[in-house]
Amino acid sequence: MKILHIGEYVVGGVATYMNEVVAYQRNYFDVHLLLSDYNSASDFDLEPERICRYTYKRHPKFFFSAMKQIYQNIQRIQPDIIHVHSSFAGMLVRGLFFITRRKASVIYCSHGWSFLMDTKQWLKKVYFMIEKILEFKTDCIINVSKRELEQSIRFGMSPFKSKLVYSGISERQRNVSLDHRHSEYRSSEESSSIQLLFVGRYDWAKGLDILLDVFQQHQHLQQRITLSVVGEPVLEDDHHLHFSDNVIQIGWVNHEEIDEYYQKCDAVIMPSRWEGFGLTAVEAMKNKKPVIVSNRGALPELITHGMNGYVFDIDQSDELPDLLMQLDKTTLAEMGNKGYEIYKEKFSSVRMNEEIVNIYYEVSNMRGKIPAPTTKHAKFSERMGEVHD
């Protein structure tokens, strides 16, 4: 089976997700990756010759050119499965098939529906109409959380094409020393203060400004908590952000180093205004760290208040600072251990990848285009205890 993964700005959680998927699938299938040359990560567990990039920026004047480049790559690779990631890539790729013939099965994962964002009602309706039209050129829609699945069907997406596959990550640990430029980032054992870590884009949806404002307005927090920020702007500039003296700006960290940053903190914080899933929370749990999350999106599905972290109401301005003042290292460590147990049970990459590949075979069977068996197919079938003739 030949699989082509296509993304747009492949960075952050989407990059982590796609890397988990291609790293697994390369062992069984002929896998290719296509992503924009701007604002996309560079470290993927795939041979360089199988990674292609198209010239693009997120502006209507680049859409036609991007679609043309994507079409050329599809024609060259001739995939059996096209797996599209995120809404803009979903628009570019599936939009093609209203004007060109489609041979491959198309799987789509929005990684967070745009029409479920906290935005104006008329915009939600526009986003939904676009997704509903593009659904006609989609064989299966993967939702990354139960909330995404239920809410999208309630809006009007097809319940027959929609499936739930929780995101997962592998447990492998990367023993890489931290970059010397980030030597100010100290481990929890080296400091009496609480070491708090934010990982994500400097986007409005991620709520970094909410967290920074709390530190600005509550100076006493700076005496007991050190906040480190991994990430950079992707869609927006950071001129509206105000970093206190006790906030360490680290910038983007490559995939091979990120576990070291999780391991050295006491807790991870996600003050998101919108979160389709929240892969950062799973990465934290894998590293035995509790997570402090807002009550938005799928985050309450991942974090149970008082068990593997804390959940705060983003609309109650006093909840987060009060919660931060009550943190203590011993309780956080206990929660981290519980989070690791939850990760092992629900969010392993093997479980996610096997469910995704089962969907590939299901849609191929529905379209009557099951690829001829190969050694790699047999290897996967043996692992799954299934035979695909």
User: What one-character-per-residue DSSP string does 73-103 give?
Assistant: HHHHH--SEEEEESHHHHHHHHHHTTTS---
Tens digits of residue pLDDT in 136-158: 999 999 999 999 999 999 999 99
Six-digit token pair at 28?
């069984």
Mean pLDDT, the chain, integer? 88
Contact criterion met (CB below 8 Å) for 107 and 162: no
Domain boundaries, the chain: 2-170+348-384, 180-346
Tens digits of residue pLDDT in 35-51: 999 888 888 889 999 99
Name the β-bridge partners of 142.
109, 163
pLDDT tier at 375, thresholds 50, 70, 90: very low
pTM: 0.79
What is the dotted CATH code of the domain comprising 2-170+348-384? 3.40.50.2000
pLDDT tier at 386, thresholds 50, 70, 90: very low
SS3 category, 312: strand
pLDDT exceeding 70 applies to what percent of the chain? Answer: 87
Q: What is the largest CA-CA distance in the chain?
A: 66
Nearest to 330 by CA among 268, 279, 266, 374: 266
2-170+348-384 and 180-346: identical CATH topology: yes
In CATH terms, 180-346 corresponds, of 3.40.50.2000, 1.10.3720.10, 3.40.710.10, 3.40.50.300, to: 3.40.50.2000
pLDDT tier at 174, thresholds 50, 70, 90: low
C-alpha distances (whole Å) from 211 to each of 107, 221, 247, 325, 328 are 36, 11, 11, 14, 19
Burial 349-386 (b: 16+ CB within 10 A, else e): beebbbebbebbbebbeeeeebbeeeeebeebbeeeee
Q: What one-character DSSP code corresponds to residue 372?
A: P
pLDDT at position 179 over 70: no
| Model pLDDT, residue 188 | 58
